[in-house]
Amino acid sequence: MKKYFSVILIVITVFTGLKAQVDVKPMNPTETTQKFGALLQLINGFYVDTLNMNLLTEEAIVATLKQLDPHSSYISKEDVEKANEPLEGSFEGVGLTFQLYKDTILVIAPIPGGPSDRVGILAGDKIIKVNGEDAYGDKITNQWVMDHLRGKKGTEVNVSIYRHGVDGLIDFTIVRDKIPLNSIDAAFMLDNKTGYIKLNRFARNSLDEFNEAIVKLKKQGMENLVFDLRSNSGGYLSTALSISDEFLPEGKMVVYTQGIHSPRQELDATTAGEMEHGKLAVLINEGSASASEIVSGAIQDWDRGVIIGRRSFGKGLVQRPFRLPDGSVVRLTVARYYTPSGRCIQKPYNEGVDEYYKDFAHRMEHGELMNADSIHFPDSLKYTTHGGRTVYGGGGIMPDIFIPWDSTRYNELYSDLIRKGIFNSYVNDYLDANRQKLNKKYNDFQDFNKDFRITQEEFDDFISRAKEKIEVNEEQLDPNIDYLKLQLKALIARNLYDTNNYFEVLWPADSDIKKAMETINEDLVYRSYGMEE
């Protein structure tokens, strides 16, 4: 094995000895492609041990791309379809959300109208058998579930379900179908005039989802919008353009791209959009990247809305997919994104990929997540919005209103409760015992949200269970009791109703949304950022 990895290093060295740089002369095949091909032939023909030449080549490709920039990447032919799935917006399977709970597949909810929903599978059901094979125990992983429940549209899968209160197992035959992957997590009214939409990625079907949400909220009286792009890592440029188009008048530039081999291309808004009028607040954070930064940058540069939160990630590199002869794909960076004012969205990566992805830790160390004053921009990075406000380049989008990261709430205890699955474990057991009672007591989510509370006895039970798995720091617990109770309520609402209701329960405790509401509801404050309705 040592010899094998030594050979990989030899091959990689051919590629990685030079850092990515601009060619000053035409590429010489005898010094590049022919040279590398000759090396592979030599290794294959004369090396002392038997080698997996396919793997050797893939390792060399991966290492080469790593030397270029943080976002050029290689996707093997086996993984191409899987890599595209979240952005394509659908897959083929049985249509349910699940989690592994005590080595069992627990149904969180069937996707409305999907194959599982049509045959009568319910939230809280446990899948015990799949096609006669036991579906519990140590062998059950997320991959096992995917391999057994996903499949081509029109094919059948037989499952046996345990349902609380029913004797014996219930057998279902599910006909697989195309299942949509929704990119909008939530869309609801915050008050009589202001709606809220949370978008988790810019997928192929995101514009349709967005417009459906806008129509629904306008019917409920929406005039203003809080658009949540926090932790949205991006997606298709075309989708970012079309969603920006919903906010900006025709002819306004959304973004432009430019690279050494890619001439400047300007992308503009087109016809009238659904939200060109009304107050707008966009939420971003350090996890908002790429397409999220295109949208928020355009809105900021045209003074269309107030940007609230923390500096975004800073991914402003454009990748273009190139298919290789065996069906694998290289996503190669070909240009950079620039906002309408000329700001380059991409943050520096000259210290290498590893340091690039430690950026969150560096921001924490420098105090940037806690205090906007810790962020210093040189005058060379100063730009001006359409209305004359000063904004800065240097990577990412700096918000108009800074909201510090809540280190008191999102502390080590909170992290452990999530990481160890304690929240989900408690909620699953709670619903096992109380689902039928809750369904009878509350006619719908609105009744539940208004009247349901986690009792102190129930919370004490939750903490008691937590202490069996983690050390509970009382200093971290005491200030967070109300929020932890709210989190439990939100998770119960998600499992009892749907994901939308999870966010609807939590928003009154969300400082970013609360600040957005304060800004929208105070005309003078909103206009102080150069905004017009």
Residues taking part in catalysis: 290, 301, 315
Cβ-count burial of 383 within 10 angstroms (0-12 exposed, 13-18 middle, 19+ buried)? middle
Neighbours of 441 (CB within 10 A): 12
Whose CA is closest to 324, among 83, 74, 82, 86?
74
450 Cβ contact list (under 8 Å, min separation 6): none
Cα 29 to Cα 282: distance, rounded to the nearest angstrom: 49
Q: Is 293 helix (H, G, I), strand (E, B) or coil?
A: helix
Terminal Cα-to-Cα distance of the chain (whole angstroms) = 66
d(CA 433, CA 418): 22
Closest alpha carbon to 427 in 492, 497, 484 = 492
Question: Nearest CA to 313 among 70, 9, 64?
Answer: 70
Amino acid at 286: E
Name the residue among 283, 303, 290 with its Cα closest to residue 238. Answer: 290
Reference 318, options 297, 343, 341, 338; nearest CA is 338
Dist. CA 505–CA 445, nearest whole Å: 10
> 111: Cβ–Cβ under 8 A, 6 or more apart, which residues?
95, 96, 97, 117, 179, 180
Block residue for tokens 């081509």:
152
